[in-house]
Amino acid sequence: MAKTTVPRTSDWREGFLFVGNHPTLDFLNTRPIQDGSPLELLPDFGAVLRWFQAARQISSRQAEALRERWGRSARAGSFTTEMLDFRERLRKEVLLWEHTGNLHRGMVDELNALLGLHPMLVRLKRDAGGTRTEPWFDPREPEDLFAPLAHSAAMLFAVGDTSRVRICANCVLHFLDTSKKGTRRWCSMQLCGNRLKVAAYAARQRRASCG
């Protein structure tokens, strides 16, 4: 990531990057590269809860309830390790799916198992725009946090467009290209886009001066 560029506020929430345009890709982006080395943004259960809240997957009340009950317990630590292992398996699967459109049977089985053990539910909600349905879950144990992770991954693989999911041309962040033309090359203009544009301009100037 470019260290000289100040990102716009919407790229960051509570110290986490949200440039993926999809929950699964934002989850993968919790391990960016800084100064040439991987940076783990989810080192413990407390950070995990902060990310889920920043990702708007759980409320502050739910986060506090999980923190008070589980805190630094061995079970919370074990879940954090399992979740990070799942993230890295998922990263490999997203890369395979992006390039081939295929999934390993093992990942399909793992997601189905998680969906069975920790399902997302649906509820009806009324607001100013009318009535709509929304997914929800009730996290009471650390493992319940697998629910939105498995659900979003399943939805990405089921209805996502592989030609629109890619890695930034300048860093390792994943994103879903929602631009009209589908030609986005970087995670965000603020993080990497400006840097690439400046580099391209400098290259054109060098070629012009040599010509």
Q: What was the pLDDT predicted at 1?
A: 40
Q: What was the pLDDT predicted at 171?
A: 85
The mean per-residue pLDDT over the stretch 185-194 comes to 74
Banded pLDDT at 193 (limits 50, 70, 90): low
For residue 1, being part of any structural domain is answered with no
For residue 62, being part of any structural domain is answered with yes
Q: What was the pLDDT predicted at 129?
A: 83
Q: Round the average pLDDT of the chain to a whole number and report it.
A: 87
Q: What was the pLDDT predicted at 36?
A: 80
SS3 sequence, the chain? CCCCCCCCHHHEECCEECCCCCHHHHHHCCCCEECCEECCCCCCHHHHHHHHHHCCCCCHHHHHHHHHHHCCCHHHHHHHHHHHHHHHHHHHHHHHHHHHCCCCHHHHHHHHHHHHHCCCEEEEEEECCEEEEEEECCCCCHHHHHHHHHHHHHHHHHHCCHHHEEECCCCCCEEECCCCCCCCCCCCHHHHHHHHHHHHHHHHHHHHHHC
Range of the structural domain that residue 21 is part of? 9-210
For residue 2, being part of any structural domain is answered with no
For residue 102, being part of any structural domain is answered with yes
Is the confidence at residue 192, as pLDDT, over 70?
A: yes
The closest alpha carbon to 30, from 10, 55, 58, 7, belongs to: 55
Banded pLDDT at 75 (limits 50, 70, 90): very high
What pLDDT digit, counting tens, does each position of 7-41 carry?
Answer: 344 688 898 999 999 999 999 999 988 778 889 99
Domain of 44: which CATH number?
Answer: 1.10.3300.10
CA dist 6 to 1, 3, 192, Å?
A: 11, 8, 10
Banded pLDDT at 194 (limits 50, 70, 90): low
Number of domains in the chain: 1
Chain centroid to Cα 93, Å, comes to: 14
- 99 residue type, one letter: H
The C-alpha angle with vertex 104 and arms to 103 and 108, in degrees rounded to 5, equals 80
Q: Which residues contact 37 (CB under 8 A, 6 or more apart)?
A: none
For residue 19, being part of any structural domain is answered with yes
What pLDDT digit, counting tens, does each position of 110-159 carry?
Answer: 999 999 999 999 999 998 889 999 999 999 999 999 999 999 999 999 99
For residue 4, being part of any structural domain is answered with no
For residue 3, being part of any structural domain is answered with no
Q: Which residues contact 81 (CB under 8 A, 6 or more apart)?
A: none
For residue 51, being part of any structural domain is answered with yes
Q: Which residues contact 173 (CB under 8 A, 6 or more apart)?
A: 1, 17, 19, 20, 29, 32, 167, 187, 191, 192
The mean per-residue pLDDT over the stretch 189-211 comes to 50
The pTM of the full predicted model, rounded to 2 decimals, is 0.85
Between residues 202 and 61, the one the model is more confident about = 61
